[in-house]
Amino acid sequence: MKLTCIVAFALACTVAAGCRTTAGTSVVLNHQTGGSLICEGNTRLHNNMAVTAVTYDKVPNGLNRVNIQLTSLIQGDQHLQYRIAWFNAEGMEIDADTRTYRPLLLHGLDSVTVTGVANSPAAVTSRLRVREVRSLRY
């Protein structure tokens, strides 16, 4: 019970601070209610980027589409990757193998919008995942 209270408090603090993405963070986007909620993360990118706008609509064939605006909170460029995963009403990921991470360059103090279109009419929620690209040095 105590652990549940601690987790609930931590989640409430995260939401109260605003939607921010972090390395390994997932931002859950609900297309039925129009809400968004951070469900996990660490501190690596916590102060570097924020989710500043989320819009939902449908493409002409009736599939859900999400547009997510990410804003850099630092002056330097950020080399990132993002992936938008889609889930059905039962919470199962739809066609997980077809959604790969895409490159994303976020310039200092700039904003960029990423867009994802559902790959099934059964998709009712999506999750944005953002991670840093780590360069190999020899």
Q: Where do the domains of the chain lie? A: 2-132
130 band by pLDDT with thresholds 50, 70 and 90: confident
Whole-prediction pTM = 0.73
What span, in angstroms and rounded, lies between the C-alpha atoms of 85 and 25?
13
pLDDT at residue number 92? 93
Domain spanning 2-132 has what CATH number? 2.60.40.3230
In order, the DSSP letters of 26-88 are EEEEETTT--EEEEE--SSSTTTEEEEEEEEEE-TTS-EEEEEEEEE-SSS-EEEEEEEEEE-
For the segment 96-117, the average pLDDT, to the nearest whole number, is: 92
Quick: pLDDT tens for 52-69: 888 889 999 999 999 999
